[in-house]
């Protein structure tokens, strides 16, 4: 089905089968506009099993009764309709690669027909597992629907494929908003002691200059850490590379090192799975139990300004003083980050891949410098 100026329709489909022996009971599909994600047409049919003895043991399945199947067509009677719907089209569904696609092939083989072939396959199960993460649970369609508080639907083909489409829309919207407004939707910093390692995972974010970027998630949001009283070990340092970086080194607590080491393992594996081949640099310097923090920066012509929010805290007067954004080369920065000084740091974990070196960078969103 072609839509004027909007490309070829996507066929979302689903099969209903018995649990143990996977006897096909129903086929359902909807045609979806790829640009507007609206349903254009639909088709569904019950399918009577060819084994005459099937009805003797069948007691019902998801609202499908013995009487429903008694009047339903056999698969050979609807095979041409299903073939015309599927062949040479874009297929979409939830877990269809491992379940529905092989079963379609088996059904056509049993009647001596060549099975329909897809032009492209969109399986939302691995797709959402990789990009949306397991924030919703086990990634079953019913679990995802419950996560978004959809009303419970009959577990039949057409309701399932329509729910599949709505789940994709909602997941896509969440991912879009998180990418555009990360500081609004994901503004929670947590201490290393609050991090649950089993709830931490890595997902692909995007590709930049051909290199994979990875997001580090904790539960359902990007992992962002808050550490108090980090001791500055090495003063501010400027890197005159393409990224124009200002960094400084702080001592890291044992728990911070443990969390970052686990993140290193997760992200490096995901990075390699996505095709990354640069040398991986550990985020923690174990020789000194330290980490390097980087200031955010923005470019204004040939001038670079820092974007990290920096405040001075005067211990004697218990007052805060905001350090306004100034030139990237300002000597004022050197006076702020003196070895031995303490800083409260609120930072994000961002992956980098530059000049065949890759790793996790700790980017400071906010710093509070403690002065006597």
**Catalytically active residues, by annotation:** 155
Enumerate residues 6+ apart whose C-beta is below 8 A from 281.
Answer: 357, 358, 359
CB 27 within 8 A of CB 49: no
Contact 153, 28 (CB under 8 A): no
Distance in angstroms (rounded) separating the CA atoms of residues 44 and 141: 19
Distances (CA, A) of 178 to 135, 143, 182, 186, 347: 14, 21, 5, 7, 17
DSSP 139-178: --HHHHHHHTTPPP--SSHHHHHHHHHHHHHHHHHHHHHH
Q: DSSP assignment of 48-83, as one string?
A: B-S-TTHHHH---BTTB-HHHHHTSPBHHHHHHHHH
Contact 316, 372 (CB under 8 A): yes
**Alpha-carbon distances of 161 from 9, 18, 130, 259, 334, rounded to whole Å:** 15, 18, 20, 40, 59
Q: Which of 83, 107, 74, 75 is nearest to 29 (CA)?
A: 83
Residue bearing tokens 């530059």 = 354
Beta pairing, strands 224-239 & 342-354: antiparallel
131: exposed, middle or buried (Cβ count in 10 Å: 0-12, 13-18, 19+): middle
Please give the radius of gyration of the chain, using alpha carbons only, rounded to the nearest integer. 28
Tokens standing for residue 1: 């089905």
Per the CB < 8 A criterion, the answer to whether 72 and 26 are in contact is no
């Amino acid at each position: 089905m072609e839509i004027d100026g909007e490309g070829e329709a996507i066929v979302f489909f689903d099969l209903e089968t018995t649990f143990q022996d996977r006897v096909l009971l129903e086929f359902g599909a909807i045609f979806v506009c790829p640009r507007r994600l609206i349903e254009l047409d639909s088709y569904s049919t019950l399918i009577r099993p060819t084994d005459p003895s099937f009805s003797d043991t069948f007691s019902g399945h998801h609202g499908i009764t013995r009487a429903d199947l008694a009047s339903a067509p056999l698969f050979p009677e609807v095979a041409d309709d299903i073939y015309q719907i599927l062949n040479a089209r874009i297929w979409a569904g939830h877990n269809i690669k491992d379940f529905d696609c092989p079963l379609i092939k088996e059904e056509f083989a049993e009647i001596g027909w060549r099975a329909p072939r897809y032009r492209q396959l969109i399986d939302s199960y691995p797709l959402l597992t990789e990009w949306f993460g397991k924030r919703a649970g086990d990634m079953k369609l019913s679990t995802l629907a419950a996560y978004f508080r959809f009303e419970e639907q009959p577990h039949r083909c057409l309701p399932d494929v329509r729910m599949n489409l709505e789940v994709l829309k909602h997941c896509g919207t969440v991912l879009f908003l998180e990418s555009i407004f990360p500081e609004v939707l994901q503004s929670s910093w947590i201490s290393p002691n609050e991090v649950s390692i089993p709830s931490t995972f890595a997902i692909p974010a995007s590709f930049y200059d051909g290199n994979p970027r990875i997001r580090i998630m904790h539960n359902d949001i990007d992992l962002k850490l808050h550490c108090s009283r980090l001791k500055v070990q090495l003063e501010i340092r400027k890197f005159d590379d393409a990224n124009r970086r200002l960094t400084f080194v702080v001592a890291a607590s044992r728990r911070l090192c443990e969390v970052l080491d686990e993140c290193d393992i997760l992200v490096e594996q995901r990075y390699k799975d996505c095709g990354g081949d640069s040398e991986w640099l550990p985020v923690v310097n174990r020789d000194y139990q330290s980490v390097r923090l980087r200031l955010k920066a923005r470019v204004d012509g040939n001038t670079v300004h820092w974007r990290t929010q920096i405040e001075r805290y005067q211990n004697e007067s218990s007052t805060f003083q905001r350090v306004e954004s100034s030139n990237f080369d300002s000597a004022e920065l050197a006076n702020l980050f003196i070895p031995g000084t303490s800083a409260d740091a609120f930072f994000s974990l961002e992956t980098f891949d530059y000049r065949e070196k890759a790793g996790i960078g700790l980017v400071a969103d906010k710093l509070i410098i403690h002065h006597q």
